[in-house]
Amino acid sequence: MHPALLISIVLLAALASALLLSRCFGARNRVCCLMYHRLLPAALYEKLQGTERLFTVPAEEFETQVCELVRQGYRFVTPEQIIDFAEGRETLPDKSVLITFDDGCVSVYQLALPILERHGACGTIFMTTDSHSAIFPESDTTQRRMTEEEMRDAVSRGLSVGSHSVSHRPLRGLADEEIRHELAESKRVLETITGREVCAFAVPGNWYDARVLRIAREVGYRGLWWSNPGWVRPAGTALGLPRIHIEGHYNLRQFRHALSRIGVFQRALLSWIKWLPGRILGPRFWSPIRRVILSVVPGGYISLGRLTVAGLLLVGLIVFLIILAFAQR
């Protein structure tokens, strides 16, 4: 590899790290959105394998996390409040949190909703409207989607409903009219079921591009959430809001760390690295590769120490390659 190219890579990595650090350790005017998918009792969670250990949270651990948010003085807010905050129309205290659940699995209704009710908290379900669409290949078949009756009851008990598309397909790989159908049809169906406006959308699989944001605005969404880690800040627009994914294996210490500044920085940096191949290859080629990787590496907790060691090894490797390239000239 040419030395100039190696130096450019190092400078690009340093610039990306500096930008992430400035966002994570900058102004305090920020609030957070947490991303969950589904719950199971702890005894059943222990039997899960692969990606399901990332996207499923033990119900007992979820209650511990909600209690921790209450103990720390967090204020539970709605998508509409987050949208107004992001657009600069509403002020929220720093310790404001939106709890979201993607897909609309029945465990949110059966397990998460009673926990939220016990602690005076609210949450949001981003529903995929086609109940037969695949989410994860190895999903437990008992994790069906919520029924229309369950959705209406959940709304009456304080949960809000947003869209997660019709079929959960990667939107970036679709034609414009297919994207429009996924966004507009799911919005129409959910508004018919709940009798309420659906103004929030969460991107399935985090596959988005400028077309998705444009079409979301055109069909009437005010807020669009993706899976990029970070905090919501007043930015003049709510079409592109970050969330912090809470993985199923987190204990309380790891949950606290995930909400800290250094924890968000770690997640943002790792997310950028993990999704770089996907941005290059696209969903058609990267999705199956990613599934294989996640099935082998179950996404263990990344501590600051481990991240530092990995970073030093990477920098050392780059420096070694630069020296080697100069030595061979």
Supply the pTM of this predicted model.
0.81
Domain boundaries, the chain: 3-327
* Interatomic CA distance for residues 217 and 222, integer angstroms: 7
Contact 241, 33 (CB under 8 A): yes
Q: What is the pLDDT of residues 290-315, one digit of tens each?
A: 666 555 554 444 444 555 555 556 55
- Residue 302 is predicted with a pLDDT of 46
Neighbours of 284 (CB within 10 A): 10
The predicted pLDDT at position 141 comes to 45
pLDDT of 271 reads 74
pLDDT at residue number 122: 96
Longest dimension (CA), the chain: 72
Mean pLDDT by groups of 10 residues along the chain of 329 residues: 53 52 56 96 89 91 98 97 95 94 96 98 96 64 85 97 96 95 98 97 94 97 95 91 95 94 84 68 65 54 51 61 62
The CATH classification of domain 3-327, taken from the options 3.40.50.150, 3.30.365.10, 3.20.20.370, 3.40.50.720: 3.20.20.370
CA 76 to chain centroid? 18
How many Cβ atoms from other residues are within 10 Å of residue 277's Cβ? 14
| Structure confidence at residue 133 (pLDDT) | 80
Three-class DSSP category at 241: strand
3-state DSSP helix/strand/coil % of the chain, to nearest 5: 55, 15, 35
Report yes or no: 66 and 214 within 8 Å, Cβ to Cβ: no
Note the pLDDT of residue 201.
98
So what's the pLDDT on residue 120? 96
Res 300: pLDDT: 46
Burial of 70 (0-12, 13-18, 19+ CB in 10 A): middle
What is the rounded CA–CA span in Å between residue 313 and residue 158? Answer: 48
